[in-house]
Amino acid sequence: MSDIERVFQFLDEAKTYYLATVEGDQPRVRPFGTILLYNGKLYIQTGKIKEVSKQLAANPKAEICAFNGGKWIRVAGELINDDDREAKQAMLDKNPGLKAMYSADDDNTQVLYFKNATATFSSFTDAPETVEF
Ligand SMILES: Cc1cc2nc3c(=O)[nH]c(=O)nc-3n(C[C@H](O)[C@H](O)[C@H](O)COP(=O)(O)O)c2cc1C
């Protein structure tokens, strides 16, 4: 399994991760769950009307953290908007529950992928392991 596949699998199995953005000098963090590996990139989903989207437009630097089974992961990098309709549709197909609120053709649905990402796998017992993608 490739590094990015391992990162995807961890986040997918964890179900929930916490996404941090910056607003000026203030960190902002909230729970997220959408995660997709598509065309070799790791995507998340949100709505363009949300504060999180506006923060990422102003400053794409972001970090996510998830904990599962005694292990945790941090992924730091930039989250880049992708208006590709196929990517949005793939995200909605993976998360059918979103289709009640979002569609690939609305003006709100947004997918973003990690660029210049550094992921660190940690646990209480093993040395941290860092991968980049
Ligand atoms: C378990 C869980 C998973 C969530 N997943 C997402 C998600 O993937 N995308 C999203 O936009 N909001 C998701 N939300 C809702 C956001 O946390 C919520 O809209 C938050 O207020 C967005 O941050 P903001 O207010 O800074 O814009 C999720 C909420 C919970 C409780």
pLDDT category, 69, cuts 50, 70, 90? Answer: very high
The predicted pLDDT at position 26 comes to 98
Give the atom of ligand 1 at the shortest distance from the alpha carbon of 54.
Answer: 27
pTM, 2 dp: 0.97
**List of domains in the chain:** 3-132 (2.30.110.10)
What's the CA-to-centroid distance between 62 and ligand 1, angstroms?
15
Q: What's the token pair of residue 45?
A: 């989903």
Binding site membership of 32 for ligand 1 (Cβ less than 6 Å) = yes
The predicted pLDDT at position 101 comes to 97
Q: What tens digit of pLDDT does each residue of 48-62 get?
A: 999 999 999 999 999
DSSP 19-61: EEEEETTEEEEEEE---EEETTEEEEEEETTSHHHHHHHH--E
Q: What tens digit of pLDDT does each residue of 5-45 get?
A: 999 999 999 999 999 999 999 999 999 999 999 999 999 99
Q: What tens digit of pLDDT does each residue of 110-131 get?
A: 999 999 999 999 999 999 999 9
The predicted pLDDT at position 13 comes to 98
Q: 43, 33 in Cβ contact below 8 A?
A: no
Pocket test of ligand 1: the residue of 30, 51, 102 to mutate, having most ligand atoms within 8 Å of its CB, is 30
The predicted pLDDT at position 39 comes to 98
Q: What tens digit of pLDDT does each residue of 80-101 get?
A: 999 999 999 999 999 999 999 9
SS3 content of the chain, % helix, strand, coil (to 5): 25, 45, 25
